Amino acid sequence: MNPVLNNIPLFPLSGHVLPGGIMRLRIFEPRYLRMVREVCAQGDDGRIGMCMFNDNGSVEQNTHIHPVATLARVIDFEHRDDGLLGITVEGIEPCQINTISVDSDGLRRGEVAIREPWQPTPLPTSYSHLAERLCQVYGEYPELGECPTDDRLARADWICQRWLELLPVDAKVKQELLKEPCCSRTLDYLAGLIHESERKSDP
C-alpha cells in the first residue's frame, strides 16, 4: 500500500509542475502566504500539493481540483519589487488526492497517497527529436532556466514530464496520461502533437 500523508496544503493552478520540474510563483493571497510560512517552517519535510484545475468541477464541492497532483517543496523565495512574495518550487513525487478539507480562510488541504513515479527510462532514438526540440524551447524562453546537460535529456520519463508542463494540453488529458504506469503512451502522444505542430508551421 502506498504511503498516505494528511493535512497537505493544496495549491490549484492553471500552470502545472510535475516531479523533477521547477516552477516560479508569485504569492499574494493571504491563505497562500500562510501556506508558504507553514511549509517553510517544516524545513525539508514541508510539502505543497500542486494541483490541476478542473474547469468543469465545483469549488463548493471541491471537485474543481483534479486528483492526480505533485508534492512539491519550496527551494527558494524572494520579496519582489512589486511587493509580492516570489517562491520557487520543485516537484518531488506524484500523488493522488483522496479527500479535501477547507480551512476557514479557504485554503484547501488534502489526504494524499503517494503514487508510484515513472521509472527512469532511456529515450528511444526514434524520439530524440523530443529532446532536441525541448532544448530549443529552453533557449527561446530563458525564464525556464538552462537546458540540462546531464543524463536527464536521455530519459524519456523526464522529457515527457517537461513537455506536459509546457504544452497547453487540457488538464483532463494530462490526468489520464499521468495515471499510466509508464511514459510510453505519453511519448506517442507528444510525438504526434509536435509532428502536427511542425506540419502546420511548414510553408
Task: Look at residue 147 in the predicted model and tell me its pLDDT.
Answer: 86
Looking at the predicted structure, is the pLDDT value of residue 145 above 90? no
Q: How many helices (H) and strands (E) does the chain have?
A: 5, 6
Looking at the predicted structure, is the pLDDT value of residue 148 above 70? yes
Residue where a domain terminates, one of 67, 94, 114:
114
Q: Can you give the residue range of the structural domain that contains 34?
A: 4-114
Looking at the predicted structure, is the pLDDT value of residue 170 above 80? yes
Alpha-carbon distances of 61 from 13, 58, 98, 102, 153, rounded to whole Å: 17, 5, 14, 10, 40
Q: Quick check: is 160 in a domain?
A: yes
Q: Based on the fold, state whether residues 28 and 91 are members of the same structural domain.
A: yes
- Cα 43 to chain centroid distance, Å, stands at 21
Domain CATH code at residue 97: 2.30.130.40
Reported as a single tens digit per residue, the pLDDT across 101-121 is: 999 999 999 999 999 999 999
Looking at the predicted structure, is the pLDDT value of residue 201 above 70? no
Q: Based on the fold, state whether residues 104 and 11 are members of the same structural domain.
A: yes
Q: Residue 59: CB partners within 8 Å, gap ≥ 6?
A: none
Q: Which residues of 73-90 are buried (b: 16+ CB within 10 A; e: fewer)?
A: bbeeeeeeeeeebebbbb
Looking at the predicted structure, is the pLDDT value of residue 199 above 90? no
Label residue 59 left, alpha or beta by phi (over 0 means left) and psi (-120 to 50 means alpha): alpha
Q: Quick check: is 18 in a domain?
A: yes
